[in-house]
Chains A and B, each alone.
Chain A
Amino acid sequence: MDRRKNIRNFCIIAHVDHGKSTLADRLLEFTNTVQNRDMKEQLLDNMDIERERGITVKLTPARLHYKHNGEEYILNLIDTPGHVDFTYEVSRSLAACEGALLVVDAAQGVEAQTLTNVYLALDNDLEIIPVINKIDLGAANISAVKNEIEDIIGLDASDAILVSAKEGINIDVLLEAIIERLPEPKGDTKAPLKALIFDSIYDNFKGVICNIRVFDGFIKPGMEIKMMSNGKAFECTEVGIFDPNMRPVSMLEAGDVGYLAASIKNVQDTAVGDTITTVCNPAESPLKGYKEITPMVYAGVYPADGSRYDDLREAIKKLKLNDAALAYEPESSSALGFGFRMGFLGLLHMEIIEERLEREFDLDLVTTAPSVIYKVIKTDGSELIVDSPTKLPEPSQIDSILEPIVDASIYSPPTYVGPVMELCQDKRGAFVNMTYLDMSRVKLDYKIPLSEIIYDFFDSLKSRTRGYASLDYVFSEYKEDNLVKVDFLLNGDVCDALSLIVHRDKAYTRARKITEKLKEAIPRQMFEIPVQAAIGSKIIARETVRAMRKDVLAKCYGGDISRKKKLLEKQKAGKKRMRQFGSVSIPSEAFMSILKINDD
């Protein structure tokens, strides 16, 4: 008998905070996949940062066993990352499943990411089971949420499963629904191997470990396998399942979810979304949906203590082993010394990487303001990709500058539509559409430059809507606009680390804010320091850091000499942490405070 009849592959999709990870925990617990005593809150989120922030970055699948009507079922749960930065990863993990649990918070209703994820699931032809979570909350409004699911998403919510993941209510009902309502995996075990990579991690002993879903054929150790995107071949050394820990098995076949190791040294060779086949009997075509992922946001990352450059390089290398989306190349700045230009999927990705570098590798970092990737058409007709303001050519060589635009969807209560539209306008957004989803929710569609989104859009949105609005966006197109580079000069010298590309209309306000901030942050020195902002040679803002007037110790007699010397030694050590910029010294901390400027 076909064992696939008793396999269900599913994932959980939800907006952040709607209880996805808690529900996953409960499923693991209820099926005895994890003993209660081994249970940590949100088990599938491995990294400290994931648990602290309540987000999932790396995907961890788990195999659950459940008896239903006397038959043993294998339920493969594939967790999905919960953030807009990782939309592509989400779509690939969805592609590994036949069904999805759509979790909606009984008190909060449908949010931006709920919908994005539903669309992704529908794109992948997934069967969706609506699950209304947190029904134990006082503020739960089940009928309203059901209406939202029907009106906004267009799914039949009459048989939505009502659960409380926290309290463990109706978990059994949910498990039965998974078995009865989700389809069994299809596929042909005799056809050439087709396995989808939906994540990969680096293991010091086994090399890269790919999380895979087998669609056709089978795979076992000893087989020669091949990556269909780049043709690279490896010998499979181990296959296994997640129990939830890795457990080797003899073979994975069509319908199975598991992992594969093949002494692969480089995580780049195992791109998420790629199809694995065999060398001797390759599939004709790969699974659809593979896309090369490219960073969207770039920033300069420097060690606060310049002597730790090598440590930073080693740390980035280590993180890169596990993160194909991370890009980096050496960069040097006259202000910050040696560091790296790093590329990220988005702001969250950037924050996570920064935090991991600081925490796991004990580094102190100075990070420049994030920049998007601009396309510059030069006067000679050639096109240049610019991921850092310092790489922008001379104005005379520029014909036009194109910037990335995203399709942004904002969900907000109707009360805040005014402030949200104002914000979008302010961020150079172009209005596309407004839909009243129901009495309590409006969906606004805008085309907005990504550079505005990564500047401070999310924080402004939250503060203008008291946290009620949610945002999602996808890349749409490159578009020309009137963009200029603003440089900042300290004592007449351009401080390259501070340069930014901005729309001409906003250049003055931004320049003024940053010069003011610089004035505050730069400690007084022995001479007056003019702080200027300039577009080309035109000064558009100016502040002055007044000269320091006093640092002397009034008394210095016999008994004070050692004390005074110690004080000076301390001052001298403090100076070492300063960035020498021409004749101006700026503490690394001050740099950070300047770069963290916000509009509000």
Chain B
Amino acid sequence: MIDRSIYIHVPFCKKKCHYCDFFSITTLDDTTILHYVEKCKKEIIQFAKKYPDTLIKTIYFGGGTPSLLSSKYIGEILNIIKAEFHTSSEETTIEVNPATSIDWEKYAQMGFNRISIGVQSLDDNVLKKLGRLHNSEVALNAVKEAGNYFDNISCDLIIGTPFDPSITVLGNHIDLLARYVKHFSIYILTVAEDTKMFDYILLNKYTMLEDNLISDVYYSISSKLKSLEFNKYEVSNFAKAGCQSKHNLGYWNKRDYFGVGPSASSYVNGVRFLVSPTGYFNVTETSYKVESVLTQADDMFEHIMLGFRLTEGFSIGDFNKKFNVDFRKTYEKAITKNSEFLSIFNDRIFIKDKYILIMNSIILDFMS
């Protein structure tokens, strides 16, 4: 049996947020939804047939807005997974949007044991300008209510926006939320092309914060969380002891995963599949999956690129065994050049926390 995970992308949204560049659709009619659910089920069955040696350890419903899909359909998809695969249900997560009605009780009954709430901010001005549909009160209520049904709650926040409140205010928000949650994902705002936010910045409606200010916000939030016993384990993720996201750690440790739904990507036995979102809703389209076999060089680079996101980095010994190379020799130049930014301790190599935000520049040197 090989440990694998499964991700279900639920692409539906009431409205696209101004900063979002993920694939989503705002067509919410029954036909589209039904088509989507059926296709998901088919995909799951196909994966299960093709890879019968799989043990599904974690399941993750992300989006989009999974809580927009009725719990009936969520349940059907979850049941198919459990029927088709061996599962150990160590971690089953669903992302919820405070702006939707959330059937907490049903989720708990179905077997979800982890909730990720898209709070994003407790500042109404920020929420509005990010194009979110909820306000801080609604978000906080959702967090509180989730606590009645779940123990393992995560909360997403966005920082480094052009309209951030002061660091003190942000700190107060963290204090408040920390009473109810075990995990934080703190994302520095990334402005991608083809988003409303990008246009606003281009038109000078908003001005991006300077890098050094963003960096200051990030590190003060980091230390705030540390004082509250949320430890950073990945660039953007902080957890109380034992509450790290097992599912997401799978990505960074380069374990296999199945991706279901439009735009979802899978990585199985060294092959990456990409599900083209355009083909997905076209009934006649059958060849919507793009496969690419990773070369050893690609695979090695991905291992480094993802491993360096983790506070603990990755094991040099495991790397050498997996790729049958001598990591220190192969990357001697890159390691020397970046010696100031890297630490090697007990066989693990990682980026020093102080430099974690300039990771791109560091990993570029590891690219062949």
Contacts and interface: CB of A to CB of B under 8 A. Distances in A.
B251 A554 contact: no
Interface in A114-151: none
Interface in B339-368: 340-341, 355-364, 367
A525 to B, nearest CB: 7
Interface string A517-551: 00000001111000000000000000000101111
B272 interface: yes
Contacts of B309: 556
B363 A551 contact: no
B357 A551 contact: yes
B265 A561 contact: yes
B206 interface: no
A572 B367 CA distance: 8
B67 interface: no
Interface in B243-276: 248, 251-252, 257, 259, 263-267, 272, 274
Interface string B1-32: 00000010100000000000010000000000
Contact of A562 (B187, B212, B236, B272): B272
Given A561-B302, A561-B306, A565-B305, A549 B190 contact: no
B189 interface: yes
Interface string A539-580: 000000010111111111111011011001101100100000
Contacts of A548: 211, 358, 361
Nearest to B218: A550
Contact of A568 (B188, B212, B305, B358): B305
B267 A555 contact: no
Between A527, A554, A572, the greatest number of chain B beta carbons within 10 A of the residue's beta carbon is seen for A554
A546 B251 contact: no
A552 B360 contact: yes
B140 to A, nearest CB: 23
B357 A549 contact: yes
B187 A526 contact: no
B195 interface: no
B302 A550 contact: no
B251 A551 contact: no
B301 interface: yes
Contacts of A572: 364, 367
B358 A555 contact: no
Contacts, number: 99
Between A551, A571, A572, the greatest number of chain B beta carbons within 10 A of the residue's beta carbon is seen for A551
Contacts of B266: 558
Contacts of B211: 524, 548-550
Contacts of A568: 305, 360, 363-364, 367
Contacts of A565: 298, 301-302, 305
Contacts of B363: 568
Chain A interface main SS type: loop
A554 B188 contact: yes
B361 A559 contact: no
A556 B9 CA distance: 15
Contacts of A525: 361
B159 to A, nearest CB: 9
B235 interface: yes
Contacts of B252: 556
A554 to B, nearest CB: 4
Given A526-B341, A549-B215, A558 B357 contact: no
B358 A551 contact: yes
Given A525-B361, A551-B359, A568-B363, A558 B305 contact: no
Contacts of A553: 190, 360
B59 interface: no
A114 B32 CA distance: 80
Nearest to A569: B367
B214 interface: yes
B170 to A, nearest CB: 16
Contacts of A554: 187-190, 235-236
A559 B358 contact: no
A557 B34 CA distance: 27
A45 to B, nearest CB: 42
B341 A555 contact: no
Contacts of A562: 265, 272, 274, 292
Given A550-B358, A575-B364, A556 B251 contact: yes
Contacts of B251: 556-558, 561
A113 to B, nearest CB: 46
Interface in A207-250: none
A428 to B, nearest CB: 42
Nearest to B338: A526
A572 B358 CA distance: 15
28 contacts: A546-B212, A549-B211, A551-B359, A551-B360, A551-B361, A552-B357, A553-B190, A554-B187, A554-B189, A556-B251, A556-B252, A556-B306, A556-B309, A557-B62, A558-B257, A558-B264, A558-B266, A559-B7, A559-B22, A562-B265, A562-B274, A562-B292, A564-B305, A565-B298, A568-B367, A569-B367, A572-B364, A575-B364
What 8 A-B pairs have minimum CB-CB distances, sorted nearest first? A549-B215, A551-B360, A554-B187, A549-B211, A550-B357, A550-B211, A554-B188, A559-B265
Interface of B: 7, 9, 22, 62, 187-190, 211-212, 214-215, 218, 235-236, 248, 251-252, 257, 259, 263-267, 272, 274, 292, 298, 301-302, 305-306, 309, 338, 340-341, 355-364, 367
Given A551-B359, A568-B305, 7 more contacts: A548-B361, A550-B215, A554-B188, A554-B236, A558-B264, A559-B263, A561-B251
